[in-house]
Amino acid sequence: MPTLRNSLAAADISHHLHPRTNWRTHEAIGPQIITRGDGAEIEDDAGRRYIEGMAGLWCASLGFNHPRLAKAGAAQLEKLAFYHTFAHRTTDIASDLAARLGEMAPNGLRRVCLNTSGSEATETMVKFAWSYHAARGQPERRKVISRNRGFHGSTIVAASMSGLPDMHREYGLPLPGFIYVRCPDLYREGQPGESEKAFAQRLATELEEMIEREGAGSIAAFIAEPILAGGGVVVPPADYFPNIQAVLDKHGILMLDDEVVCGFGRTGNWFGCETVGMRPDMMAVAKALSSSYFPISATLISDEMYEVLADNHKGAAFGHGFTNSGHPVGAAIALEALDVYNELDLITLVRQKGERLREGLERRIGSHPFVGQIRGRGLIMGVELAADPAARQGFPPAFNSAALVNAAAFERGLALRSMMGDILGICPPYVITDEQIDQLVDRLALALDDVTPALREAAGS
């Protein structure tokens, strides 16, 4: 077994170009190879088990081997493994999924464009925004405003909308016309003594100043995750979206809602926009749509937008689509996932489990000398570490305190994610048991203890 494992690791190092991984570091340390899943747990090739505290990449909402999703996928593979949705064709199952999504979406977003990845779903929103404005006589509305630390995907436009410098550096991105406003993170961006209300107002004012500087007539859309995930689990102040919405409405700018992480219960409501008081003109969903058992995503729009876009085809076909748009296997798994969510009474379940997680974190690590803030909604939480919590002073950027805790947690059988230097993400599958939530909290607390001497040294205390 060790030889096999070593040869597999060597093959991986030789051939496999890993996403979001430093390739030189990978040459030195090799892969962590996961071979099995069991509910909210995963197992590596050496037989070690881990609680997957991040549902993989904020996605495997029903764990790693849900029998009903496996069965639904297998049955569809046997019945009709592929058919497309171009040129009026469809499958029974793709049409069924579009209708189900259209019926459950908020804000009248009942028209559904099925895609494959989250990046495709967010980019599709940009195409729709451009086409919508052009059809209404404003083709010069092209710019898209997003937020620093927002994440909307890795393809060129999606990366241009992502306010994460690592997504831009190697490629000369963002593309022209993709501009950023401040992240609604009161903890890091708030001024001394500034209230949530004042902070939310300041951000709306900054947005309006940017719109006036750029020219409202040049701006198509504003894109936002209800709760920023990859940028460090940032929950905006209560007034933030209502204030932003008022500015966008005044200037005729569309609100694009990226629900790729927040959709399907994650924040304790069916969609994140309901949690934060956002009123989307379009919405992108993916990940929990199929629990990521199959790559499938969707972009949703209203009837009103549909009418404008349909007329803008001007007799030709809609110039967009992917080979795997509305893939029947993905659709079958997504429909089953939606059934399972309903049977689980998902919203009640996420709120209860989220409360247990929050309460456990507060109790076990809330007063740790290097924990600055514990935040989140439902089953998406962030822990912000700080060299000096009272002063909201982070660790030196190169130190990467969260990566240190993350590595220690992995050693203790817990998979998490480190972000933005000092932030740990926690986003477990909905099928995590109460006992596993307690174990997750316990392992995180022990991992923090493991690295406390190093944190103390870096903090200079």
Interface residue list for ligand PLP (CB under 6 A): 57-58, 117-119, 122, 151-154, 225, 229-230, 258, 260-261, 286
Which residue is it, tokens 């977003």? 109
> Distance between alpha carbon 40 and the CA centroid of its chain, in Å?
18
C-beta of 144: minimal distance to ligand PLP in Å? 14
Residue 96 · residue 288 · CB < 8 Å: no
Residue 253 · residue 303 · CB < 8 Å: no
Nearer to ligand PLP (CB atom), residue 245 or residue 299: 299
Nearer to ligand PLP (CB atom), residue 183 or residue 286: 286
Dihedral sign of CA atoms 45, 439, 449, 358 in order? positive
Torsion of CA 323, 329, 332, 333, to 10 degrees: -110
C-beta of 311: minimal distance to ligand PLP in Å? 29
C-beta of 238: minimal distance to ligand PLP in Å? 21
Nearer to ligand PLP (CB atom), residue 358 or residue 417: 417
- DSSP assignment of 205-234 equals HHHHHHHHHH-GGGEEEEEE-SSBSTTT-B
Nearer to ligand PLP (CB atom), residue 208 or residue 259: 259
Distance CA 376, CA 374 (A): 7
Nearest to 254 by CA among 228, 226, 282: 282
C-beta of 317: minimal distance to ligand PLP in Å? 25
C-beta of 225: minimal distance to ligand PLP in Å? 5
**What SS3 state is found at 350?**
helix
Tell me whether the omega of the peptide bond preceding residue 174 falls within 30 degrees of 0, making it cis: yes
Residue nearest to ligand PLP (CB): 118
CB atoms within 10 A of CB 183: 20
Nearer to ligand PLP (CB atom), residue 113 or residue 135: 113
C-beta of 19: minimal distance to ligand PLP in Å? 9
C-beta of 59: minimal distance to ligand PLP in Å? 8
Which residue is it, tokens 């993916």? 286
CB atoms within 10 A of CB 31: 17
Nearer to ligand PLP (CB atom), residue 230 or residue 378: 230
Q: Helix H segments across 16-54? A: 23-29
Nearer to ligand PLP (CB atom), residue 107 or residue 297: 297
